Structure 1
Amino acid sequence: MDGRTKVYFTSDAHLGSGYHADPRAVECRLVRWLQSIEGDARAVYFLGDMFDYWFEYRTVVPRGHVRFLGQVALMADAGIEIHFFAGNHDVWFADYLEKELGAQVHHEEALVTLDGKTFRLAHGDKEYCGLSWTNRFLYRLFRHPVARCLYAAVHPRWTVGFALSCSLRSRKRGVRKATLGQIPHAYHNEYFEIEKEWLVRWTKAHIEEHPEVDYYLFGHRHLLVDLALRGEKRIVILGDWLQYNSFAVWDGSALWIDQFLEEEDQV
């Protein structure tokens, strides 16, 4: 072994989002975290929504994120496995990340065996479809090939701004509802009852038919959750890089959640 023994999981950086007070600072912090783990990482899994918006045309990709993408490319060149899962904000991955970065792109959930343990990895938006018909409709719409072709026919000068503004309005609306106690949300945990979280309920039902899975890891919900289930099974929801700067680590025998804290965070 060359010292690369750990596997890292993170999600929901929403790079480029107007919700970040300083989007560049968030990207730089994410890069510093990646630099801090590149000495012992054998694989990094990004479980969706690393970008607040991503749409690949045949010869065009969104501008920005060069520090993040450059650091990921360096890690891939060094032999570290890089995996990107499509989230609901960056669902329209094509082959850019594979060709330019050497990353593996996943458009569906994946079962991964690590050191004899089975991990089910997913962003979480597909599982969340069971909550309401609107979730199901949007999930299918965003992934429908006709919808993608129609969207690609519109010039980026219109689509990029439209998508980012919709994302910002949605996030502000979600936080507003949370402050009223209408929905559980990461930023107002006094309203959050873990057993009522849909992904927890979904996972408990899934376990009944899939006893082979040891760990369930999700993004999507912007909640930081590590919950023991039946036996030694667990569900982990990875938080985000809007509030928590959080990630999970597997060292070959143990799985835990951590946060990237710098000196100014510890004052």
Structure 2
Amino acid sequence: MIAYFVADVHLGRKSDGRFLRWLHKIRGEVNHLFLVGDIFDFYFEYHIPEAYNEVMHAFTQLIHKGTKIYYVLGNHEMYPWERLKSMGLWVGDRIAVDIGPNKVFVAHNLEGLSRGQKFMLRSKAGHLLSSIVPRATLFEAGLLWAKTSCLWDRLRNRRRMWNKIEANWATLRNHYDVVVVGHYHTPCVKERDGSKLIILPVWTKSWGYLKYEDGEWRLIQSRR
């Protein structure tokens, strides 16, 4: 059984040819594909640029070849997700699955969303407010917000962030063999008490991803 995990592709106005080629390459090979948040830099269901449609078509082709796709929501992606659900993707904030002999927990991050993000990205009220704004204006504002959000994440106190990660992992490893997250821009594999914490690479920096095959977990990265 083969499973891939990829996060933080941050598709904007333009297509990412490397990501599309990778999706085509793994078609027919991968059993499970986990999209671990922030695949799109800003997603709003009623204004979808052509670059996003190309990726969605690639998702459809994978599904037709028998791949099960899980979309774990990130902190740049806006409610609702009916289109992706109708295509056959599983969509949610986090998921617990069995992969081989392992119980695996997958989320974009271990801290959740801020109150403002929950309102804008997940609530019906936030969705209604966003539907009033002209589509082009909403999309441009969303891209600007996404870039600002990324900058703020990088400026946060790193030690405080790692303390939160460690605290949440301490709870999760009592129940899961492997915890997989994106978001943190610090790819690594940590092991403790028989549990693994795997932080995914940022696609935009290294074209990196996580591969599971025959009991082996492997981070794969390419130098730009």
Q: Counterpart of 2:217?
A: 255
Q: Counterpart of 2:7?
A: 11
Q: Give the CA RMSD over aligned residues.
A: 2.4
1:243 counterpart = 2:205: yes
Q: Counterpart of 2:94?
A: 109
Q: Percent identical across equivalent pairs?
A: 20
* Aligned counterparts of 2:203 and 2:89: Cα–Cα separation in 1: 21
* Aligned counterparts of 1:171 and 1:136: Cα–Cα separation in 2: 14
Structure 1 unaligned spans of 5+: 18-22, 130-134, 185-192
Q: Counterpart of 1:46?
A: 35
Q: Normalising by the residue count of structure 2, what TM-score does the alignment of the two structures yield?
A: 0.88
* Aligned counterparts of 2:201 and 2:141: Cα–Cα separation in 1: 26
Aligned residue-pair number: 223
**1:194 Cα deviation after fit:** 11
* Aligned counterparts of 1:195 and 1:141: Cα–Cα separation in 2: 23
1:109-137 CA distances to partner (integer Å, 9 max, x unpaired)? 1110122211001111xx314xxxxx532
Structure 2 unaligned spans of 5+: none
Q: Counterpart of 1:198?
A: 164
The secondary structure found in structure 2 opposite 1:243 is helix
1:212 counterpart = 2:175: yes
Q: Which letter does structure 2 place at the counterpart of 1:257?
A: L
Alignment of 1:161-172 (within 5 A): 161-172=140-151
Runs of 4+ in structure 1 displaced over 4 angstroms? 172-175
Match of 2:68 among 81, 88, 92: 81
Q: Normalising by the residue count of structure 1, what TM-score does the alignment of the two structures yield?
A: 0.75
* Aligned counterparts of 1:75 and 1:214: Cα–Cα separation in 2: 27
Q: Counterpart of 1:20?
A: none
Larger radius of gyration: 1
Asked whether the equivalents of residues 119 and 217 of structure 1 are also in contact (C-alpha less than 8 Å), the reply is: yes
For the structure 1 residues 67 and 136, does the alpha-carbon distance in structure 2 shift closer, same or farther, using more than 3 Å as the test? Answer: closer
Match of 2:18 among 12, 19, 29: 29
For the structure 1 residues 147 and 66, does the alpha-carbon distance in structure 2 shift closer, same or farther, using more than 3 Å as the test? Answer: closer
The secondary structure found in structure 2 opposite 1:92 is coil
For the structure 1 residues 137 and 98, does the alpha-carbon distance in structure 2 shift closer, same or farther, using more than 3 Å as the test? Answer: closer
Asked whether the equivalents of residues 35 and 71 of structure 1 are also in contact (C-alpha less than 8 Å), the reply is: yes
* Aligned counterparts of 2:222 and 2:85: Cα–Cα separation in 1: 27
